[in-house]
Structure 1
Amino acid sequence: MKTALVTGASSGFGAAICRRLVAEGYAVVGTARRGDKLEALRAELGDNFMPVVMDVTEPASIDAAFAQIQQRCTSLDVLVNNAGLALGVEKAQQANAANWERMIATNVTGLALVTHRALPAMVAANRGLIINIGSTAGSVPYPGGNVYGATKAFVKQFSRNLRADLSGTRVRVTNIEPGLCSGTEFSMVRLDGNAEAVAELYRDVEAIRPQDIAETVAWVCQLPAHMNINSMEIMPVAQSYAALSVARNL
């Protein structure tokens, strides 16, 4: 049985990915800060789901989690770096610096450190798949995207650089870049619990769903070992690119 580690597993994309991979026959290690949510997922998914409390912003927590995982799992076949968040939509000159620090700690440092822990064993085994959950915000700038978009640009370039470093091995790396997605806590967190603003964001829009991203992850996982999907950008049909902004009469 293959084993997958999914970070940010307590809700949204992470929980959907865990459900999908368990259904595909994987043993899944799900990590997150909220142990109660992980225990609820274990009650739902059964013995093929292993909950491990881990905060990716705390190196000591990552170390403790991997020590626990290594006691139970002989190897990891798949790492899904899903843990991440956005905080605020203010323009840079009005943004909260603490929000910037937290996004960088989670989306950049946390993702890098988890990868750093998982990668040597994959290289030693000469097999494995790392799937990073990026965002279209890593490629498409927009007002209020500032540091969040920059963190996802890091994920894009980090994924590419991993591919360069892993040349000559059979370890694969994929960056999945979702656009507008509903059915998660993402926008509620980003908009500081403003349910009215969240409802307006998704009003009359058929956005992509966590299950769609989980289906994409499962598809990448089942591809032949000689294939590497470098990146995949996914938007709902209702979302597209906007024209460049032009300020007049400056």
Structure 2
Amino acid sequence: MISLQNQIILITGASSGIGTACAKIFAGAGAKLILAARRLERLQQLTEELKKEFETEVYLLQLDVRDRAAVESAISNLPTAWSEIDILINNAGLSRGLDKLHEGSFQDWEEMIDTNIKGLLYLTRYVVPGMVKRDRGHVVNVGSIAGHQAYPGGNVYCGTKAAVRLISEGLKQDLLGTSVRVTSVDPGMVETEFSDVRFHGDTERAKKVYQGVTPLTPDDVADVILFCTTRSPHVNINEVILMPVDQASATLVNRQIEK
């Protein structure tokens, strides 16, 4: 088992959900955190909590992963003490809408593709060369069951998560011969802001997604990510699919609806 003490972990989408849960669990393991997200106030609030509870060293990046120039600038201008990133957690991602493909919103499509695929690629492209040079590191891509199974209305979102899965496979092959590891962690239903975002802030509709089900929590996913990153250096967990007991596939869910 690898110690994460003083390792530098870069987490995108750190201002909520799985990203915040990762920040907390890695802080508890003694890591130093680079937290990236668009919402700086959320990051500052999280930083105060982490420093109070764990005395964690934190470096903040207000960053939209869709902006390639901003990603390049953020990574290339990291202070020397923060520049040798040990673990990259590509967590930033979102879903928009459940429209049929032929009725879909171009804006929704572009936001999902730019965040889920291109944003992940930008971070990977600017961080991984340093890992290869140092011959150590780990890239964790947060995917989804949607990358394995399409579902009605999921079309473009499922396509972006399928891309994450195959990009992870391709990266692992490209890094063969180095000590850099690659993992795709693909959850089913997780109760986060995911559905709020998908339905453009329609909280009542979002709540119905999890009604009658005990979904995964962000902490459950962060726990799996921690496990993957702390295995012996010769072990690579290529892919993990995790779901709540109440879910058997992208579309099969056991709901206990109160009568």
C-alpha displacement of 1:179: 0.4
Which amino acid letter does the alignment assign opposite residue 172 of structure 1? R
2:42 to 21, 29, 37: 37
Is 1:6 aligned to residue 14 of structure 2? no
TM-score of the two chains, using structure 1 as the length reference = 0.94
Q: Deviations over 1:15-58 (max 9, x none)?
A: 11001101001001000011111111111112422211111011
Whether the 8 Å contact between 1:22 and 1:49 is mirrored in structure 2 is no
Is 1:170 aligned to residue 179 of structure 2? yes
1:73 to 77, 82, 95: 82
Is 1:147 aligned to residue 147 of structure 2? no
Which amino acid letter does the alignment assign opposite residue 21 of structure 1? F
Which amino acid letter does the alignment assign opposite residue 131 of structure 2? M
1:211 is matched with: 219
Aligned positions of 1:1-250 closer than 5 A: 1-46=6-51, 47-182=56-191, 184-241=192-249
CA distance in 2, matches of 1:85, 1:197: 17
CA distance in 2, matches of 1:108, 1:122: 21
Whether the 8 Å contact between 1:7 and 1:80 is mirrored in structure 2 is yes
Which amino acid letter does the alignment assign opposite residue 235 of structure 1? M
Whether the 8 Å contact between 1:87 and 1:189 is mirrored in structure 2 is yes
Listed as ranges, the gaps of 5+ residues in structure 2 are 1-5, 253-259
C-alpha displacement of 1:95: 1.0
CA distance in 2, matches of 1:48, 1:24: 12
RMSD of equivalent CA atoms? 1.2
C-alpha displacement of 1:70: 4.2
Which amino acid letter does the alignment assign opposite residue 232 of structure 1? V
Structure 2 SS opposite 1:42: helix
CA distance in 2, matches of 1:211, 1:23: 13
Cα separation, partners in 2 of 1:74 and 1:56, compared to 1, 3 Å: closer
Structure 1 SS opposite 2:78: helix
Whether the 8 Å contact between 1:91 and 1:146 is mirrored in structure 2 is yes
Whether the 8 Å contact between 2:34 and 2:58 is mirrored in structure 1 is yes
Structure 1 SS opposite 2:66: coil
Which amino acid letter does the alignment assign opposite residue 108 of structure 2? N
TM-score of the two chains, using structure 2 as the length reference = 0.91
Listed as ranges, the gaps of 5+ residues in structure 1 are 244-250
Whether the 8 Å contact between 2:96 and 2:199 is mirrored in structure 1 is yes
How many residues get paired? 242
Structure 2 SS opposite 1:161: helix
CA distance in 1, matches of 2:14, 2:170: 26
C-alpha displacement of 1:68: 3.6
